[in-house]
Amino acid sequence: MTVRVALVDDHQAFRDRLRAMLRRDPAIEIVIEASSGQELLDLAQSTAVDVVCMDIRLPGMNGIETTRRLLAMRPSVRVIGLSAYAEPHYVEAMLEAGAVGQFTKGDAGAALLRAIHEATAARPLFGANVAVPAAEESAAPAATERTPGTAPPLGPREMQVLAMIGKGLDAAAIARILSIDPSLIDVYRRNMIRKLNLAGEHALVEYARTHSPKP
């Protein structure tokens, strides 16, 4: 069966190399090429896609937010994150946004091909240079065994952010404590609101006050 793939990266030279490699696999068809998250979202409304190879650091809307919005629109799509580096907080954020794997651009070879064919939310795949989150192996089984109707489990970084929200810290303070980009805090907050089926920011704050881990 042919896998319909989208390539999302603002560097044309890297897209050219990735396209050339993927075209050597007769079971892969490249149906979308985009240089920004918004361009991908626009094209995905009318073009069926199975797998998206997503650069994390896109201009404007980053790959994390693009992943979240894409999966809200097309839940069956599998997103594989790509980055020049493998910072753990970006790996965690991509997985918590719904990605099924993460590779550095230097890993974009046979292992990435395998992930395009095989990676799923229950069985994510990672490049050799990517540090796999410690909780990843236990997180997938927990999700499949969850009692129907209960809230999806939050990732380890989301739990950290939730606890700090419960203590009254704002996004800038949380970002300083965790030594991450402040824009990632907004991504975590939106992911938690979606996963917990909350009405919005005020509901998240109230939830954090009553449900976040106690010291």
- Which pLDDT band, with edges at 50, 70 and 90, does 73 fall under? very high
Q: How many CB atoms lie within 10 A of CB 13?
A: 8
Structure tokens at 37: 């998250």
Domain limits for position 168: 146-211
Cβ(22)–Cβ(30) below 8 Å: yes
pLDDT at 123 over 70: yes
Note the pLDDT of residue 151. 53
Note the pLDDT of residue 15. 94
Supply the CATH number for residue 131's domain.
3.40.50.2300
% the chain with pLDDT above 70: 87
Distance CA 22, CA 39 (A): 21
* Domain identity same for 48 and 121: yes
Q: Looking at 113, 141, 169, which one is the last position of a domain? A: 141
Q: How many CB atoms lie within 10 A of CB 177?
A: 12
* Domain identity same for 103 and 200: no
Distance CA 166, CA 180 (A): 19
* Domain identity same for 86 and 192: no
* Domain identity same for 119 and 18: yes
- Which pLDDT band, with edges at 50, 70 and 90, does 113 fall under? very high
Q: Looking at 106, 122, 141, which one is the last position of a domain? A: 141
* Domain identity same for 128 and 29: yes
pLDDT at 150 over 60: no
Written in H, E and C, the secondary structure of the chain is CCEEEEEECCCHHHHHHHHHHHCCCCCEEEEEEECCHHHHHHHHCCCCCCEEEEECCCCCCCHHHHHHHHHHHCCCCEEEEEECCCCHHHHHHHHHHCCCEEEEHHHCCHHHHHHHHHCECCECEECCCCCCCCCHHHHHHHHHCCCCCCCCCCCHHHHHHHHHHHCCCCHHHHHHHHCCCHHHHHHHHHHHHHHCCCCCHHHHHHHHHHHCCCC
* Domain identity same for 184 and 91: no
- Which pLDDT band, with edges at 50, 70 and 90, does 140 fall under? very low
Structure tokens at 45: 């409304």
Distance CA 5, CA 118 (A): 13
- Spacing of C-alpha 98 from chain mean position: 5
Q: Looking at 95, 126, 141, which one is the last position of a domain? A: 141
Higher pLDDT, 147 or 132: 132
* Domain identity same for 16 and 99: yes
Note the pLDDT of residue 44. 97
Supply the CATH number for residue 157's domain.
1.10.10.10
* Domain identity same for 55 and 98: yes
State the total domains in the chain. 2
Model pLDDT for residues 156-177, shown as the tens digit of each residue: 788 889 999 999 999 899 988 9
Model pLDDT for residues 7-59, shown as the tens digit of each residue: 999 999 999 999 999 999 999 999 999 999 999 999 999 999 999 999 998 99
* Domain identity same for 131 and 171: no
* Domain identity same for 130 and 156: no
Average pLDDT value over all residues in the chain: 84
* Domain identity same for 49 and 102: yes
* Domain identity same for 54 and 105: yes
Distance CA 19, CA 177 (A): 40
